[in-house]
Amino acid sequence: MKDSAKPVSQSSSENPPGPIPPERHPERPEVPKDADGVGRTSGEAAEALPELAGHPVDLQAIEEAVRTILRAVGEDPDREGLRETPRRVARMYAELFKGLRSDPRRHLQKVFTERYDEVVLVKDISFESTCEHHLMPFMGKAHIAYLPGGKVVGLSKLARVVEDIARRPQVQERMTESIADLLVEELQVRGVAVVVEAIHTCMTVRGVRKPGSICVTSAMRGAFRNNPSTRAEVMTLIFGNHK
C-alpha cells in the first residue's frame, strides 16, 4: 500500500518548471558479487545477527585488533570481564557499519505518479552514525523535504535511505550531502532539502567535552537552493519561527 501524508505547505510559484539534474553522484557502497566476500562471517555472529549473513565482515580480524588494543592500554584481554569483549566488539562494528554493504538506491525504485507539486516533508527521522575521525557515535535526527516533479515515493522509504546511509563511518557533512544527492539522482524532483541535527560524542565525552552541543548541517538542491523564499519556507516548516 502506498504511504500517504497530507501536504505540509504550498511551494513557491517561482520554482523551476522541471526536475533538476543531479549535481553529483552520492557515495555508492560496493555490493559484493560473491556472497562469501573476502572475509568470513562466523556462524555464531550470523546466528545472532541474521542481517549480517553473507556480508564480507572479517570478524576474526576485528577480534584480534581489539585484543591488541586492550593489551596496549595495559589490560588483560583474557581476564573474565574482558574475555568475550573482542567478540562483542566485532559484532558491534559489523552492525554499525552494515551500510557499507547496502545500496540505499533500492528504496527509491518504486515511485507513484501524482499531480501533487507542493512540499513533501518528513521530519525527525532518528539515526545513529559513526564519526570517521575517532570512530565514536554521533546521533540525532534528519529532516527531508522535496518538491515532486510528477512522482512521489513512499514516506517510509526516506527513513530507510537515512538508515542505510547513516550506518557507515563518515562525517556529518558528507552524510547530509549523500542523502540529498541520492534523492536528486533517483527521483524526478524540482528541489531537495536535507537538514541533519546531531550530537557528537567525540565532543561530549572527550576533547572539548561540551555536552549539549548540537551540529546542524544542510544540503539544498534545486528550488531550495536557488529560491530564497522557498528555502526560507522549508526551514520554517522544519524549525518553526525560532530565530
131: annotated active-site residue: yes
- Catalytic residue (choose from 25, 44, 133, 173): 133
- Catalytic residue (choose from 64, 95, 185, 202): 202
- Catalytic residue (choose from 55, 170, 172, 197): 172
- Catalytic residue (choose from 14, 44, 51, 132): 132
With contact defined as beta carbons under 8 Å apart, do 82 and 76 qualify?
Answer: yes
The CA radius of gyration of the chain, in Å to the nearest whole number, is: 21
List 108's β-bridge partners, or say none. none
- Catalytic residue (choose from 107, 131, 163, 177): 131
215: annotated active-site residue: no
Q: Which amino acid is at 172?
A: Q
25: annotated active-site residue: no
Q: Which residues carry out catalysis?
A: 131-134, 172, 200, 202
